Amino acid sequence: MFYHVKELQYRAKPDKPDPVYAKKLQEVLGGQYGEISVMMQYLFQGWNCRAEAKYRDMLLDIGTEEIAHVEMLATMIAQLLDKAPVEEQEAAAKDPVIESVMGGMNPQHAIVNGLGASPNDSAGYPWNARYTIASGNLLADFRANLNAESQGRLQVVRLYEMTDDPGVRDMLSFLIARDTMHQNQWLAAIAELEEKEGKVTPSTFNKQYEKTDVAYTFMSCSEGQDSETGRWASGTSMDGLSQFNYDPNPKAQGQNPTLNPAPGYIHGTPKFKK
């Protein structure tokens, strides 16, 4: 059960309206790495969690916090659209860079959303549930969460650089700081699980069914050997179970992929005799 507290988690009040920036801010609300994505990802991971209770509680704690971030961004976007001055939109569109990249204000903010936010990204593409990952394997999921927080923080930092509005920057600085904590949180949870399970997911697969002769070989599939200097090409493997080795010229080991003709009812292209 969720309860709504009327006050926002943190201030979300711009100094002045900016409908063009409201369009940009939609990315971290409804984009692939936006707050709606991590909110849904963490909540479903928590609701589906069959592991220790502490992991379920942690997931639902952070998932619930992300609901607060969605509310903050929606509130900020709505205020950036206050009065939505047509003259400001037209003035912004006169900048050739903004005109070509942003196209001014998002017209759906006025036409569809009544000067409010929407569950879309900055290009107007609707939020998609396929952005979320909840596999049931916590180590795999937590690594996906770390990626989501890394990409999300990167985007918020870029948005911070795109405005000089003190109120907007104040809210973004809070979100950036929370993303710092969340990245550290997932790193800590990943380290804890790796200590128990090892680094390769899933740890429950029987290695006798794995082609172990290629399990620790880096195959160079491009000209030159620059990749040989990387940590992934020599030394002890990251799981501690073997040694990395480098293959500068991997040989094909499979068959020539010649397929049989399709049956007539498929109406494909037949093989013609030479």
Annotated binding site for Ca(2+): 57, 61, 222, 224
Spatial neighbors of 197 by CB under 8 A, at least 6 apart, are: 139, 203
Q: What residues form the annotated binding site?
A: 35, 57, 61, 66, 69, 149, 182, 222, 224
Which residue numbers belong to the known binding site for Mn(2+)?
35, 66, 69, 149, 182
Helix residue ranges per DSSP H, the chain? 19-25, 27-30, 35-47, 53-80, 86-93, 96-101, 107-111, 138-161, 166-197
Kind and range of the H or E element at 235? Answer: strand 235-236
For 24, the token pair is: 């940009």
How many angstroms separate the CA atoms of 102 and 65, rounded? Answer: 30
Nearest to 51 by CA among 132, 146, 131, 135: 135
- Burial status of residue 209 (CB atoms within 10 A of its CB: 0-12, 13-18, 19 or more): exposed
Instruction: Round to whole Å and give the CA distance between 240 and 221.
Output: 25
